[in-house]
């Protein structure tokens, strides 16, 4: 069984069907993204009657691209392609070694994993969370377009750089790619213990961590739509932090329209912070992180502001 990459709009609601079925606020968001008008995107968020739902829409649509192509065999025919930004999270424990470069050949493995009818593009190097966390919604769309052959826009926005993680903490990186079909939104196989799942995970483990044993579930996530992969990666990172350190306190503070800051404190005055982008994981994703943090480290520190 498979599920679509989009959690709000599914395969039969992409393209022309979207115009027929989408709500007016969603159409406004889609048009603002297509026009690269990020100010308009956030103005729509401010006036939205359901901001959590709006962020879910934004997480979906900033990782999707609809385009048309001429058929090489029938020059008078034009086909519609839907591409989705995907990622694979990789978490390394403190002090472990690995590589973020040289993934030649891996697209073929991921192509086989998706199956016939899908085309796959993969960035040659993994991206650190410190970089990914700076992406605006339009920067995500620009990366997706770039992997599909469109030049990267010079005016793509980046959030100001924030201190992320630390040398003595688990690291979080992502393999990034784009998958497309001309039959609606690409579909991702369900999680399970399919041999192809395990073989792909082992290959990614060899390439990124120098190991392909059967204990990779704590370090490598599945191939998933970008928003789901970022969420999964952050959960894996929290688990790795809990294995390595005693955390005495934590809280999440909103600091900008789209940025929350996870702050953690350890023994001997240790402190760490990690920016979270609500447009990347949605408020539901924030809730899952809060639940995981509380499970490992107890309730948030006294006086902390909980995201709404």
Q: Are residues 28 and 141 in the same domain?
A: no
Provide the pLDDT for residue 238: 93
Tell whether 168 and 257 lie within a shared domain: yes
Strands 127-128 and 2-4: unpaired
Shared domain check, 156 and 11:
no
> Residues 156, 179: one domain?
yes
pLDDT grade for 130, boundaries at 50, 70 and 90:
confident
Answer whether residue 216 shows pLDDT above 70: yes
Percent of the chain with pLDDT over 70: 71
Which span out of 11-25, 55-69, 140-154 was modeled with the highest average pLDDT?
Answer: 55-69
What integer best gives the mean pLDDT of the chain?
77
Rg (CA), the chain: 20
Please check whether residue 306 lies inside any domain of the structure.
Answer: no
- 239 and 177 within one domain: yes
Do residues 231 and 139 both lie within one domain?
yes
pLDDT at 1: 34
Show the domain range for 136.
78-297
The tally of domains found in the chain comes to 2
The predicted-structure confidence for 9-42, as pLDDT tens digits, reads as follows 333 344 444 444 457 788 889 889 888 888 999 9
Residue 46 belongs to some domain of the structure = yes
Q: Tell me what the mean pLDDT of segment 162-168 comes to.
A: 59
Residue 52 and residue 175 in one domain? no
pLDDT score at 43:
92
CB neighbours of 224 closer than 8 A, spacing ≥ 6? Answer: 86, 87, 88, 188, 232
Q: How does pLDDT run across 104-127, given as a tens digit for each residue?
A: 567 677 888 888 888 888 877 788
Domain boundary among 67, 100, 116: 67
Q: Is residue 257 part of a domain?
A: yes
Judged on CB neighbours under 10 Å (0-12, 13-18, 19+), 65 is buried
Residues 198 and 233 in one domain: yes
Q: Is 50 exceeded by the pLDDT of residue 305?
A: no
- Residue 196 and residue 155 share a domain: yes
Flag whether pLDDT at 211 surpasses 70: no
Say yes or no to pLDDT of 171 above 60: yes
Using CA atoms, how far apart are residues 277 and 133, in angstroms rounded to an integer?
6
**Rounded mean pLDDT of 200-220?**
70
Residue 206 has pLDDT above 50, yes or no: yes
Same domain (yes/no): 147, 199 = yes
Q: Which residue has the higher pLDDT, 267 or 56?
A: 56
Q: Could you report the per-residue pLDDT of 221-269, keeping only the tens digit for each?
A: 888 899 999 999 999 999 998 988 888 899 999 988 888 999 988 777 7
Domain for residue 176, yes or no?
Answer: yes
Q: Say if 72 falls within a structural domain.
A: no
Q: Are residues 63 and 166 in the same domain?
A: no
- 272 forms beta bridges with 264
Q: Is the pLDDT of residue 154 over 60?
A: no
The overall longest dimension of the chain from CA atoms, in Å, is: 69
287, 167: one domain: yes
């Amino acid at each position: 069984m498979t599920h679509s990459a989009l959690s709000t709009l599914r395969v039969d609601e992409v393209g022309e069907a979207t115009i027929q079925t989408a709500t007016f606020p969603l159409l406004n968001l889609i048009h603002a993204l297509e026009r690269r008008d990020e100010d308009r995107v956030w103005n729509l968020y401010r006036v939205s009657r359901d901001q959590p739902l709006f962020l879910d829409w934004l997480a979906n649509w900033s990782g999707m691209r609809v385009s048309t192509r001429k058929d090489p065999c029938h020059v008078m025919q034009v086909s519609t392609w839907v591409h989705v930004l995907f990622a694979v999270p990789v978490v390394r424990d403190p002090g472990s070694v690995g590589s973020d470069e040289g993934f030649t050949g891996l697209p073929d493995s991921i192509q086989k994993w998706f199956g016939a009818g899908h085309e796959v593009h993969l960035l040659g190097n993994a991206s650190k969370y410190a970089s990914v966390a700076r992406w605006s919604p339009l920067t995500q769309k620009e990366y997706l377009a770039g992997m599909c052959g469109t030049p990267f826009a010079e005016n793509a926005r980046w959030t100001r750089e924030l201190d992320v993680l630390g040398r003595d903490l688990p690291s979080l990186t992502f393999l990034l790619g784009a998958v497309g079909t001309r039959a609606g939104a690409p579909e991702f196989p369900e999680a399970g213990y399919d041999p192809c799942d395990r073989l792909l995970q082992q290959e990614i483990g060899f390439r990124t961590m120098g190991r392909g044993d059967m204990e990779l579930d704590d370090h490598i996530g599945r191939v998933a739509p970008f928003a789901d992969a970022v969420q999964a990666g952050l959960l894996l990172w929290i688990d790795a932090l809990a294995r390595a350190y005693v955390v005495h306190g934590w809280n999440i503070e909103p600091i900008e329209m789209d940025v929350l800051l996870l702050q953690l404190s350890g023994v001997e005055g240790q402190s760490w912070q990690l920016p979270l982008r609500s447009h990347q994981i949605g408020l539901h994703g924030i809730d899952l992180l809060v639940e995981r943090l509380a499970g490992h480290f107890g309730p948030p520190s006294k006086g902390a502001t909980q995201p709404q």
